[in-house]
Chain A
Amino acid sequence: EVQLVETGGGLIQPGGSLRLSCAASGFSVSSNYMSWVRQAPGKGLEWVSVIYSAGNTYYADSVKGRFTISRDNSRNTLYLQMNSLRAEDTAVYYCARVLVVAGNSDYFDYWGQGTLVTVSS
């Protein structure tokens, strides 16, 4: 059974750093595309970052240069290192598996339960 469990959220002051983890089971993180998606309180979904099986990484403009996505294949875990945090980064952060289908189309097929990050002094 595929499962994704995020941890690492919490209250952090503006300018601080936090690392989120997403432990995967039932599949290999290294063989799949993996992504982070966030949702500010009462707001819509915002894509944050993706890491491809080959290791390529991409970011939303809103986090580029501040956030880093990575994975530990031995732990089958996805990470999001978040630096220089701002109040507007306050959100529930979800990790999601990205399934690639024919024609290079892809979609988020499995999601974690999310972890809340609150940036406030």
Chain B
Amino acid sequence: DIQMTQSPSSLSASVGDRVTITCRASQSISSYLNWYQQKPGKAPKLLIYAVSSLQSGVPSRFSGSGSGTDFTLTISGLQPEDFATYYCQQSHTKRTFGQGTKVEIK
């Protein structure tokens, strides 16, 4: 099965910071990579699909890039509502999530 590894597992940042989260697949997944945001006690919310396509209603400060095995989620100008846990997910073979990256307030 394809393994997805996110880094870092957690980070502390301030409002207004630029935040970058990395996701690496154990084999090439082409562009079959999505990103989700989850807040405590809530279901995950889709942010970005197919590497870089922004889901409707998601602020443009969220962006994604990458291909093959290495992918990045960037939040440009962190807002108070962005403190949450972020997951990458591949849909190339079955489905797999990364272990998550918790973004905390510095």
Interface set of A (CB-CB < 8 Å, partner B)? 35, 37, 44-47, 50, 58, 60-61, 94, 101, 103, 105-109, 111-114
- Give the contacting residue for B43; candidates A58, A101, A114; CB below 8 A: A114
- Chain A residue at minimum C-beta to C-beta distance from B45: A111
CB distance from B91 to the nearest CB of A (A): 5
- Give the contacting residue for A61; candidates B1, B34, B50; CB below 8 A: B1
- Which residues 12-55 in B have Cβ within 8 Å of A in the complex? 31-32, 34, 36, 38, 43-46, 49-50, 53, 55
Interface set of B (CB-CB < 8 Å, partner A)? 1, 31-32, 34, 36, 38, 43-46, 49-50, 53, 55, 85, 87, 89, 91, 94-100
B96 lies within 8 A of A105 (CB): no
Q: A61-B1, A112-B43, A113-B43 are in contact. Are A105 and B91 (CB under 8 A)?
A: yes
